[in-house]
Amino acid sequence: MRQPYYTLATLQASNSVGFLMKRCGVLMSQLAEQRFAALSISFTQWLALHWLATQQRRVSATRLSEQLGHDMGALTRVVDQLERRGFVRRERSRRDRRAVEIAITPAGRRQAKSAKRVLLELLNQLVAPFSEREIDTLIALLQRLMQHLQRAAGVEAAVPPPATRRPTPSGSKRKALPAGAA
C-alpha cells in the first residue's frame, strides 16, 4: 500500500491540492467577472445560463444551486435578475405542481452563446504559457480528480466523463488521445 502523500510535517498551502485549486478557482472567477463587466450579464449569471442551456429540460432551483455551488438565497437573486431580463422563466413543475422549475428562454440561449466568447478569450489567455501537451495533461488530471471527488461525495457527475478525443478545430492535425491519457 502506498504511503500517504501528505503528512503533518509536509502539508502547506503551497503544495495542497485543495488550497491551490480553490485559489485558482477564486482568481479565475475574479478575472472572469472583470471581463464580463463590459457585458450586460455577470459571469455568475452566465454560468447559470450556460448550464441551463446544456440541459434537455427545466431544472429545479435546488439542482441549479448544487451545480453552481451557490446557496439558495444567492441563486434566487441570480434567477430573479435573469428572469427580469427575459433570459429564464420560472414554471410550475409538471410532476409536482407545488414545485417551481427554471427554464432558459431563446433569448437566454442566445445570451449564453454570445457571452461564451469572453470566457473563451480568457481561458486561452490563461493557458497561453503552457504547451498543448501540458494543457491536455492538466485537463485530464483535473477530470480524473473531479470524477474521484464526485464518487467520494456520492454526487451525480457535474460534467460528462472525459472524452477519448479532445476537441480539435477543423483542419487541425492534433492526434487523438487514448482514454485517460495526457
Task: Judge if 110 and 22 occupy the same domain.
Answer: yes
Task: Judge if 139 and 55 occupy the same domain.
Answer: no
Looking at residue 99, its pLDDT comes to 83
Looking at residue 1, its pLDDT comes to 85
Cα–chain-centroid distance for residue 180?
Answer: 20
Instruction: Name the H helices within the chain.
Output: 17-36, 43-53, 61-68, 72-84, 106-127, 132-153
Domain count, the chain: 2
Looking at residue 8, its pLDDT comes to 95
Looking at residue 158, its pLDDT comes to 59
Structural domain contains residue 150: yes
Residue pair 60/101 in contact by the 8 Å Cβ criterion: yes
**Angle, CA of 92, 95 and 97, to the nearest 5°:** 40
Looking at residue 163, its pLDDT comes to 55
Q: Which residues of the chain are modeled with pLDDT < 70?
A: 157-182
pTM: predicted TM-score of the whole model, two decimal places: 0.79
Task: Judge if 86 and 134 occupy the same domain.
Answer: no
Task: Judge if 140 and 109 occupy the same domain.
Answer: no
Structural domain contains residue 170: no
Structural domain contains residue 66: yes
Task: Judge if 41 and 73 occupy the same domain.
Answer: yes
Report the C-alpha gap between 48 and 35 in whole angstroms. Answer: 17
Q: Which domain holds residue 66?
A: 18-115
Model pLDDT for residues 26-72, shown as the tens digit of each residue? 999 999 999 999 998 999 999 999 999 999 889 998 899 988 888 88
Report the C-alpha gap between 90 and 109 in whole angstroms. Answer: 15
Report the C-alpha gap between 167 and 146 in whole angstroms. Answer: 19
The b/e string for 94-120 (b: 16+ C-beta within 10 A; e otherwise) is eeeeeeebbebbeebeebbeebeebbe
C-alpha distances out from residue 83 to 39, 93, 107, 141, Å: 17, 17, 11, 37
Report the C-alpha gap between 70 and 78 in whole angstroms. Answer: 10
Which residues touch 36 (CB under 8 Å, ≥6 apart)? 42, 43, 46, 115, 118
Q: What is the CATH number of the domain that holds 94?
A: 1.10.10.10
3-state DSSP assignment of residue 104: strand
Structural domain contains residue 173: no
